[in-house]
Structure 1
Amino acid sequence: MSNVIKEPRTVVRKFLARPQREGVGATVRRSIGRFELKYFDPFLVLDEFSVSGPAGFPDHPHRGFETVTYMLQGAVTHEDFEGHKGTIEAGDLQWMTAGRGIVHSEMPAGQGTQKGLQLWINLSSKHKMIEPRYQEITSKDVSEAAKDGIKVRIIAGEALGIKSPVYTRTPTMYLDFTLNPGSHMQQPIPVSWNAFVYILEGEGIFGNSRSSPITAHHLLLLDGSGDGLEAWNKSSKSLRFILVGGEPLGEPVVQFGPFVMNSQEEIDQTVEDYDNCTNGFEKARHWKSESTSVFGY
């Protein structure tokens, strides 16, 4: 993939993700999946979460999409009704395909505050009812590249000639950039894809060198034309942000909390399946996570 950008994308909307309560006592900054931006095809939710025990995300279901958990600080323990259990530590990645159904918990694994990002990616109608599965990559195995004051961790997709091993059913790029003071970057984005930036630390200029700097916790929607992103760090501190892009599915979206399908009839069936522990939720009838029990839920 060439790194030469012919037509940089511009920022067409920006949102400051303000803290709100989610789960049990947890705090999230939600930028996609909020009132002003309910869906950005194929992305359903983006949360920057912060949690300290006993707060967390105790046993809850999903169907019809994928969750991507990327830890920034601390660790969380994940556990599900299929017997899968593990700890996601700082820099680690878990790409979970909920598919036809999963019930799991995500709880803090240590003292202090645990921080990370969780992205929900919609699945096409042909993939919504596949069996649940996981791709888990520890921090040391996340692909990285560096050049001219730019470092990038390649969660999904390709940057600076390096590709991620993660398989994405919905074609997706997910890149974690750090720009040193004075540095400038260009990153190609497939022309047909939707894309956004979420700023984690520092302040940066995006899309046009004459634009005003934008600070941490802002989500930037990029316009639909153009072949890439151009960004500058003109400050005296490091700039860290994620660039995420995906191929739009162009399908109807009907969401009811943690269930995302293509029609109201499918949602009604999902609620019935979950309530009756059938059609993928059979193991929910007698399961309760150990980590949730430890915290007294």
Structure 2
Amino acid sequence: MANQQVFERDIKDHWSVKYEEAQFPSVQKGWILPVDRWKDFDPFILMAEDWFKRGTFSDHPHRGFQTVTYVVDGRLEHIDNAGGRDILEPGDVQYMNAGWTARHAEEAVGEDIAHTLQLWLNLPKDQKKTPTTYQNIYREDAPTASFEGGYVKVFSGNIAGVQGPLNSVVPITLSEINLEKEATYTHLLPETHNSFVYVLSGDLTIGSSNVNLKKHGVATLTFNEAGNDENKSEIKIKANSRRTRLLVYSGKPIKEEIVPYGPFVMNSMDEIKQAYRDYHNGLFGPPAK
């Protein structure tokens, strides 16, 4: 039997993140994935890059989606109203399934300026009432696979023969790829997954059309939407500078209409209004403090 042909991915779109200064205690913000393009990014909704001091993201509610937060620099203190509290450091990841009634705070520690990337990941309509859960993945607990000139650290999914520890309601892959200058790497992903990359540092060439991305660069990738979930696809990456580091995210589209509004993501405006009523009526529980 002939070998299954591997779908070769290319760049669908790419851009550089633009940043704006924010009002204290927030410092600066940029939109890696702007929310008005969520249909292009499905199952991902938005991704924000934030620099902030303590008091920016104090007690607040969520409903109807998941978050995946990567700490770039500084320290991030997680506090939730179920008694959870922990401190995440650079390279750590926190996953939250907001489900039906999340209420938490995400604070910089002490005088730190926390620098984070927060991805919002949709929940299917039939999963929006699931219980709220949190999972911290510390950098040293995410397995790595080495290759000539670099290594890939796997936070979620089965990548390069290793399984990441993150367990999301909607399965995704999340990998951090580190390369030295002139190193090449072929990253494998399920061919049916929508995917994007974000460059944390360095300079690289990616895809069959050899698109150049530098620090703060974002690219969405082509994928085989009509393919087989079990089949792999590949995206080729070459580093043009030392210490090139990027994140690769992928997930299968959910294909449902959503309404992202404030801290909630539901399937209709009526459900958004109900979420606000439930919050103001105390159904999300006591404050996180």
Quick check: TM above 0.5? yes
Deviations 1:139-160 (A, max 9, x none): 2211112111121110101222
Shift of 1:212: 4.4
SS at match of 1:66: strand
Take 1:247 and 1:194, find their aligned partners in 2: how far apart are those partners? 6
CA separation of 1:5 and 1:56: change in aligned 2, threshold 3 A: farther
1:218 aligns with 2:223: no
Take 2:34 and 2:282, find their aligned partners in 1: how far apart are those partners? 27
Take 1:22 and 1:173, find their aligned partners in 2: how far apart are those partners? 34
Which position in structure 1 is the counterpart of 2:94?
Answer: 94
* Amino acid of the structure 2 residue aligned with 1:231: I
Which position in structure 2 is the counterpart of 1:25?
Answer: 26
CA separation of 1:288 and 1:154: change in aligned 2, threshold 3 A: closer
* Amino acid of the structure 2 residue aligned with 1:229: I
Take 1:213 and 1:195, find their aligned partners in 2: how far apart are those partners? 17
Shift of 1:193: 1.2
Take 1:166 and 1:215, find their aligned partners in 2: how far apart are those partners? 28
Aligned sequence identity (%): 29
CA separation of 1:157 and 1:140: change in aligned 2, threshold 3 A: same
Which position in structure 2 is the counterpart of 1:292?
Answer: none
CA contact (8 A) 1:23 1:57 kept: no
CA separation of 1:223 and 1:91: change in aligned 2, threshold 3 A: same
CA contact (8 A) 2:204 2:241 kept: no
1:163 aligns with 2:134: no
Shift of 1:240: 0.7
Which position in structure 1 is the counterpart of 2:229?
Answer: none
Map residues 125-144 of structure 1 onto 2, 5 A cutoff: 125-144=125-144
CA contact (8 A) 2:95 2:168 kept: no
Take 1:176 and 1:207, find their aligned partners in 2: how far apart are those partners? 17
Among 234, 238, 247, the alignment partner of 1:232 is: 238
Which position in structure 2 is the counterpart of 1:175?
Answer: 175
* Amino acid of the structure 2 residue aligned with 1:249: I
Deviations 1:145-190 (A, max 9, x none): 2111121110101222111122121120011001111111111221
CA contact (8 A) 2:11 2:211 kept: no
Take 1:14 and 1:22, find their aligned partners in 2: how far apart are those partners? 29
SS at match of 2:12: strand
Map residues 104-143 of structure 1 onto 2, 5 A cutoff: 104-143=104-143
1:242 aligns with 2:241: no
CA separation of 1:34 and 1:255: change in aligned 2, threshold 3 A: closer
Which position in structure 1 is the counterpart of 2:279?
Answer: 274
Take 1:273 and 1:22, find their aligned partners in 2: how far apart are those partners? 29
CA separation of 1:252 and 1:38: change in aligned 2, threshold 3 A: closer
Shift of 1:27: 2.0
CA contact (8 A) 1:23 1:58 kept: no
Shift of 1:24: 4.6
* Amino acid of the structure 2 residue aligned with 1:223: T
Which position in structure 2 is the counterpart of 1:201?
Answer: 201
Which stretch shows the higher mean deviation, 109-118 or 243-252?
A: 109-118
* Amino acid of the structure 1 residue aligned with 2:191: V
CA separation of 1:56 and 1:245: change in aligned 2, threshold 3 A: same
CA contact (8 A) 2:137 2:165 kept: no
Deviations 1:59-86 (A, max 9, x none): 2111011111121222111111222111
Take 2:189 and 2:126, find their aligned partners in 1: how far apart are those partners? 25
TM-score where L is the length of structure 2? 0.89
Which stretch shows the higher mean deviation, 176-185 or 111-120?
A: 111-120
Q: Which contiguous aligned blocks of 4+ residues in structure 1 show a shift greater than 6 angstroms?
A: none
Shift of 1:38: 3.8
Take 2:32 and 2:24, find their aligned partners in 1: how far apart are those partners? 16
CA separation of 1:23 and 1:223: change in aligned 2, threshold 3 A: farther
CA separation of 1:253 and 1:163: change in aligned 2, threshold 3 A: same
Take 2:162 and 2:98, find their aligned partners in 1: how far apart are those partners? 28
Take 2:167 and 2:197, find their aligned partners in 1: how far apart are those partners? 21
CA separation of 1:165 and 1:147: change in aligned 2, threshold 3 A: same
Which position in structure 2 is the counterpart of 1:44?
Answer: 45
CA contact (8 A) 2:203 2:241 kept: no
